[in-house]
Amino acid sequence: MDAKARQVALACKGFLDDEEGMRLYDLARNHAHLGPIVEIGSYCGKSSVYLGSGAREAGGTLICIDHHRGSEEQQPGWEHHDAELVDPTVGLSDSLPFLRRTLHDAGLEHTAIVVVGASQAVAGLWTAPLGMVFIDGGHSVEAATADYQAWGDRVVPGGILAIHDLFDDPADGGQAPIEVYRSALASGEFDELPRTRSLGVLRRRNSMVRPAK
């Protein structure tokens, strides 16, 4: 990975471990030839740099989808609220300027396409097959499930569905992402690849095998 881009990723606000980021980079680089890479939940751009760097090396494209108002746990009074992201004019979080600056600093403005909106709304307009989908948006059961239902079926055979923040033990973190991950596995449409820390990775099968009842 480009050393400058990696330094930008390391310095960027976010909740992604560098080891997880490098796995995303490898996955994007190895699957961007199958179709665009879609990221649900860009925040300030940490994961975008890893994914975008991999897509760039493969001659591919990254689509960064986020409404940029912050997920549930980033609202005032919650653990991950960051007052620096609040737009004083409207009194709401706005991570979009931070994402754009990150992409600029990493040299990814010609690789990454920024889409501002709720992922389900964007999915309703989307028709292209995808080489990879990375889900790291809202972590409520409703938000995580909706993101999977909106985008999981758009991954091409051989493509990747990656989901962040998987915690087997509820004491370590919220359970919505891992429940979505388990649902994807139970569908019979994906094979499980090795995890990297809290990053789960699934590959869509070339032919769907329904699990036995």
Residue type, 143: A
User: In whole angstroms, what is the distance from residue 82 CA to residue 21 CA?
Assistant: 22
User: In whole angstroms, what is the distance from residue 16 CA to residue 20 CA?
Assistant: 6
User: In whole angstroms, what is the distance from residue 140 CA to residue 38 CA?
Assistant: 20
Interacting residues of 18 by C-beta distance below 8 A, sequence separation 6+: 9, 10
Residue type, 130: L
> Strands 199-204 and 155-163, how do they pair?
antiparallel
Report pLDDT for 210: 45
Look up residue 122 and give its two tokens: 């964007």
Q: Which of 31, 67, 68, 139 is catalytic?
A: 139
Interacting residues of 54 by C-beta distance below 8 A, sequence separation 6+: 1, 24, 25, 26, 27, 28, 29, 30, 32, 37
How many other CB atoms are found less than 10 A from the CB of residue 195?
16
80 has catalytic annotation:
no
User: In whole angstroms, what is the distance from residue 151 CA to residue 157 CA?
Assistant: 14
Report pLDDT for 201: 98
Per the CB < 8 A criterion, the answer to whether 21 and 50 are in contact is: yes
Report pLDDT for 87: 81
Report pLDDT for 32: 98
Interacting residues of 110 by C-beta distance below 8 A, sequence separation 6+: none
Pick from 78, 47, 76, 80: which is nearest to 64 by CA?
47
Only one residue has tokens 């758009």, namely 154
Reading the chain (213 residues) residue by residue, the pLDDT tens digits are 999 999 999 999 999 999 999 999 999 999 999 999 999 999 999 999 999 999 999 999 999 999 998 776 655 555 666 778 888 888 788 999 999 999 999 999 999 999 999 999 999 999 999 999 999 998 889 999 999 999 999 999 999 999 999 999 999 988 999 999 999 999 999 999 999 999 999 999 986 444 444
Report pLDDT for 115: 98
